[in-house]
Structure 1
Amino acid sequence: VTVPVSLKEVGGYIEKQVAYLSGRGEDSSVIITLPECSAFSDIPEDALAKVFTYLTLIPTRQPGVKFIIILDRRLDTWASIKAALARIAASFPGNLHLVLVLRPTSFFHRTVTDIGFRFSQDDFMLKMPVVMLSSVTDLLRYIDENQLTSEFGGTLDYCHSDWIVLRTAIESFAVTVKDIAQMLQGFGTELAEAELPDEGKAIEQLLETHTEKYKKLKDAIRSVSKEGRHLLSNLEISGKDDDSQWDVKLDWETVQLLAQLRDMELAFDGFFEKHHLKLHQYLQLLRYEQSFQEEVMSRAQIIILHGHQLSAAHHYAMALIMQRCNELRHHCDTLSAALKSKHSFLMQTHQLLLCLGQAQTWCDDGAYMLANQLVDKSQSKEGAQTALRDIEKFLEGAPSMLSSGHDVLAMEYEAVITPQLQTQIGKVFEKYATVQQMIQNRQACLRKLADKQVRPIQLVAPRPENQPRSKSPLFSPKHLKFTFDISLPGKKSSRKSPNTRKFQIEVIHDYQESRSFVSYSLDGDDSPDVLKHVMRELIETERVYVEELLSVLLQGYRAEMDDPALSGLLPPILRSKRDILFGNMPEIYNFHSVFLQDLEGCLEAPETVGACFLQRKESFQMYEMYCQNKPRSEALWRQFSDCAFFQECQKKLEHKLGLDSYLLKPVQRLTKYQLLLKELLKYSPDCEGTSELQGALTAMLDLLKSVNDSMHQISITGYEGEICELGRVLMQGSFSVWISHKRGPTRMKELARFKPMQRHFFLYERALLLCKRREDHGEGSDKTPSYSFKHCLKSPGKYRAMADCPQNGPSNIIIKRGDVIHLQCEDNRGRLVKNLSLQQEDFIAAASLQLIIGNSSREPSPRLGPGNLKVRKLSSPKQQRASVSSEDTESGRSSPEPQPHSPKHQPNRRWPGAHHSVDICEGLEEWSGDQDAFLPSEMEERIKVKL
């Protein structure tokens, strides 16, 4: 349950007086009263937990506080009391000292309550101390009458509406203090980052501006402090009355906020005084330097003027005096010319350095943009066009010096270029060439995707009704055939409608093209240079990734947590939980800093990168630990994302994105390796290291699947055993499940189960877990599912997967030779094999998971090759109604009989539509391994597909 910080987040239940704070008990225990409420049972669990959490947060500013609950159920029943006690035990977050229950007053319900509590007392006492009271007078033995409200015969003057008004005022004051703190922080950052001008008037104007802003902020602080003191005085006045429900000691929040406000004001005053003094001293220094420079030149002019006056008075040494005057004037002119030349030289050098800095930043931004373009969005035509526009817009902002070239720049700044500047210019243009090549390669790939023409669907003349059936095999490496109906525009789709016309339609899907956004092929060019381009991008993005990890760990957030200067901005609880926030990112950085060197060694021989990945295959398993910790890290970040420490670190690092974006980098990077490996494998079909590249690609795909399954596995609740003992997760997915009986009479109690149950299956190496998916917790993108454990089938045996092609076709699990559990996949893309046969034989590991098309057969089905997919519409109504086999035929078999794959044995097989075929082929590409023969035998538990 998220911690509510205001009345608005509690959802209005506080206003309805579901529960409220009322007085104190023994040992300063806080009393929470739950009055008679007919709608108490209708309150959701999470809402009730929020109410309790909010009420317990108010007095828990002081340590060791205890709580007493008064549960008023004088007009209720024992069933309601029992349910309320169970909900309190499950939802109350505080230190529950005592629960006082006022039992029903009617004779019948009082008797039932006494009997029920006598038998259930031990269960409740294990969770919380419960005392059943016969009347209101019994409350006086536990609570003083001054701490009880009038409805319980006490003298405590409690007004719920006044309490809500004061709580709202306190929370509003807290929000105001937070806003003031952010304003002070922003102004302090502005003062710290302000550039000091070189002119005295500009400095004076800057002083006036800063002083004016300082006065406005001081007025705001004084106003908020006055508001807080007024609020606290009202609480103190209310607390002086003995019968008042207010206890000032409970309102630590207001006192703490006032103390924080005073501390912020003192710190702000000290900071501004130092800044103001610094500006004044800088102004004095600037004026002194100007007077020093002007003194020399003005004194020389005075001396020259004095010499001319002596000459005009017919001084006897007039010739000598004029000689000295001319000499002094010559030195003044020489000095002025030298100063102007030096000033021009420095200004030109400064301009060159600014241009180089802008070019360096532009190159870094370009590499960052390419590395962060979303892969999924770049696969469609619209996504490719959007990515192209982003790149073109980025190229428009390129510095002009880069387009002019190295030689033009050297000629323009020839007078100021030094060997150090020449080296720096060379590095900048070398980096620019690399980034430009990467951008051109990316543009070529995106243009190819954006300009790709979709082949039109061509309608041909209808075939006659007696058209002979096609003899083509069910699966072919080059094409597949499916049947579906196409209705004419304006007609209702119906199998029996005479207006429905059937056409033969052929749809071709090319699976030869690459699905990666990284492509360097132009007109089928497979030269070794293409491999080097792919390898160069792999190394460049890996280098950027390592630098980002370094900036987060050693140069930024994690390292700054040990800096004493920032210790005041870092909450203590965050320092103790930094291992949760960063996970095992240090371990990932250490691995990739070494892995980057291995990749750089493969630049000249890209085909050897597969062996590099396989050598580090086990090290990549650390990502599974990082991804499993990611939900805890995100929850911790959401709690402290507004912390001033993170904002200060982000400004120091000059990051455009927050820490949460960099914590997501490992997950994003993990998904990109398989794309780059696909490109390397695509352009090195006959190279020596092709098998290693294929192995590396398979390893990375298996790692992604393992990480995804483990993320779902950690959300399983209620399983009493050790999940790790079940082995590795082979697959998981959601199904609709219901039970029927194939043999024998159907029991009446199971006729009610006519609606399917929603279950989530986890297939392990040693068992099959059935779980129920619960409602997601959180809001927006923070929602996370949970799976409640329901059943476990621990029957070791051969797992055999079959193609469940129909979208709505159910699968059956036959238990104990009669009971059938029907499964139906909910996922729209779940056209893969969701049907398993369990045989009580030796167990085969996950590698024996096979893909079989059609009925059970000893023959391995041909694998789907990367060819064209063809879908053909059947023209005959009989072909429309044909099916593979009936349910009765399937249920009547005790064991599957092997049949050869041929149209003769499967005359009526058909497929529902072309859109299913695409998903099947996409799923087939993810499976690897040879087909194993299926050994039929008598089975205790059996799973079959009904197509």
Structure 2
Amino acid sequence: MVALIPDWRSQFGHRSSSLLSSPLFSFQFLLFSCFCSCFTSFPGNLHLVLVLRPSSLLSPAPSPTSSTDLGFRFSQDDFMLKMPVVMLRSVGDLLRYIDEHHLTSDFTGTVQYCHSDWIVLRTAIESFAVTVKEIAQLLQGFGSELSETELPDEANAIEFLLHSHTHRYRQMKDDIRSVLKEGRILQSNLETAKASRRDGVEERDIQADMDTVQRLLAQLRDMEEAFDGFFEKHHLKLQQYLQLLRYEINFHHTAVTIYWVCVLSDQEKEIPSVGSTVVQTEQLLKDLEMLDSHAQEEMGRAQVVILHGHQLAANHHYALALIIQRCNELRHHCDVLTTSIRAKRASLTRAKDLLLRLEEALRWCDEGAYLLASQMVDRFQTKEGAQEALQCLSCHQERAPSYLKNSQDTLSLEFEAILTPQLQSQISMVTEKLSSVQSMIRNREQCLRKLADIQVRPIQLVAPRPEPDQTSQRCKSPLFSPKHGTGLSNPPSPPMNITIHSILFSFPSTAQSSSHETKISFHIMKELIATERIYVDELLSVLLGYRAEMEDPAMSSLLPSALCSQKDVLFGNMPEIYQFHSRIFLQDLQGCLETPERVGACFLQRKEKFQVYERYCQNKPRSELLWRQCSDSPFFQECQKKLDHKLGLDSYLLKPVQRLTKYQLLLKELLKHCTEDQYRCELQEALHSMLELLKAVNDSMHQIAITGYQGDLSQLGRVVLQGGFSVWISHKRAAVRMKELARFKPMQRHLFLYEHALLFCKRRDEDTLDRTPSYSFKHCLRMSAVGITENVKGDVKKFEIWYSGREEVYIVQAPTVEVKVSWLTEIRKILTNQQKLRNGLYYYFYLSPLPFVCLFVCLLCGYTLRFFSSSFFCLSYELIWI
């Protein structure tokens, strides 16, 4: 290869102007620089260097033999030329070494060559190559970034990544398209240049450049295709990950819902699968239906998620195994929940069927017992009456449910799948009651058949008998009328010679009894039982016809809004009263039909149970207020119409109060006609307990009307007495005493005497429909510091109550002397009990949880005592225990 160094001034430009005027060494340095450039730029080996001397150089031209000297001088310092260097004088000398067909027109050659065009073309090719390399590096960096990007766990972040990656992908695509366009333009220019060249060498050079550009374009297209495929997979992966993430979110939401539904189902399973009553079982079925509707909604959402999962699986999602697992898990939850609800519904339905049968059996037993008790013994004495009673019993036997004919074991086997110990005990109880009632009915039927078959013999009168109309009139007279007592005082008529073979009950018959007192007691007992049955039936009709109807959805449109969730206020504890009378007290009374004098023991035995009336009466004002607000509602009119009641609900809500007051009247009548001392004591005690109950109910009704008392009235003990009095107050302190001298008229105060305190209140008659008074609290006296003076000069109805050693003195005037005596008696009892406590043990102690600490507690109030000066001080009663 020959290196031709043309006019070197074109290479260095104006920077060499200062070197031209320098010595020859400067020229040689420039030549050295050019040689270095040639060695580094030419890819092959250099065999000859031709140097064309510049025409402006004034130094003489070197001889041909001077080339070696020149090369030697260069090698002395830093560089050694291993090829000859020839210095040429003119362009013509150049032709001796290079043919003119290989020289450009600048050197008198024939080659058409523009160096500036070549530089532009080479610059464009090299710039295109650099751009392609940069594009490759950018694509590689972007691909690495996409591969190393950690996928977040939030859908919004995934969507942001999708948007940002897609945006950058489009930018990269725009850059690739721009570079491709640049390469096509460069290729087009090379094709144009090739077409304008006729020289084969030039064509080969241009063809080589075109091949380079074509290779770069192909490389760029391959990179674009690979980048498109990579980004398509990456974009699909992000989309599927977003779909999976959303599916997981939906799954978790649905799974949480299913979880809570399963929790509700587990809580429902904790309740027995069978109820103890029909109402409870129906409520359980309603709750189960609500749970089922809620579960159906949640399982509908779960089915949507399962369908979504199947769609993802059908689209060959990369997380196919996880999606199938989630779908199976959701389907399992739904199947388990559906199965459990279905099984529980079947169990509750069977339990309801069983309880309905037991309830129907109990109803049949109650109707049978009521029929037996309601049949009048007087009518059995005739054949027609006995046959009629026998026919009633036969009709009742025919109305018996068919399943009552089965044994207990048969019923247990039929419902074996749902039987619980509670249900088994109910079946046993119903079976026992059924056997008892059936036995009673059989005995009654046997007696009635005997009576129906008896041929009544002629009656021989031993003594004149009263006229039938008079006897009938006396038997039908009212029980507690004044005339009735007069009629009973007549001397007994001689007994008639009538023989009766069998009577169901062993009470003395009219023909056999010689005691008017026994007959009256028997009639009173019959009336007590009969009215008790009517009372129980009325309570049941109210509870079923009104209270139960408030829960009926069909009647909800007629129910006033003020009554919603207020049935406990309107009816109070009437269900508790009904349970007591129907299941306990009525049975006790029926057991005393043969021995009416023993009824006192029944009242004493159930004394505590009668406390339910106190709560009912305390709730009565609230019930009446609610009734006045809603009495015009069509709901009550519809219920009254269904029950065929002539009176409204308010009349039936008053029945418990009326019934409670009637017991003491019946006990008084029984006590009046009881002859045995033992039973008279029981009746007297029962009468006293009922009067005490009435008094306690009355006092509690007044107590709930107290307003303004800052504290708990229950801590004061029970109400002993209450009533209105005229009160004068005097104090030892002069200022207060002078202020009260102007008060000549007494204050009207309503006093409440408790076991531990005496309350002074002012009665206020409210201007309301029920005229119920209220009592404004004024003053409280602790009974531990109270003393009394029984007599006050000037008035026998006055007495003194003084407080804290006569620091305060209250002169109280009772309405009557009897009221004064009763109050003094009760106050004296309270003070005596307190004195007994003072003379005996005043406190007790117990060990505190803290070590080495003993606490002393007052026996009067139950609070801890404070210790000072070797004594104990009670803050509640202001007493010092020594």
When normalised by structure 2's length, the TM-score is 0.37
More helix by share: 2
Greater relative contact order (CA < 8 Å, ≥ 6 in sequence): 1
Larger Rg: 2
Using the size of structure 1 for normalisation, the TM-score is 0.34
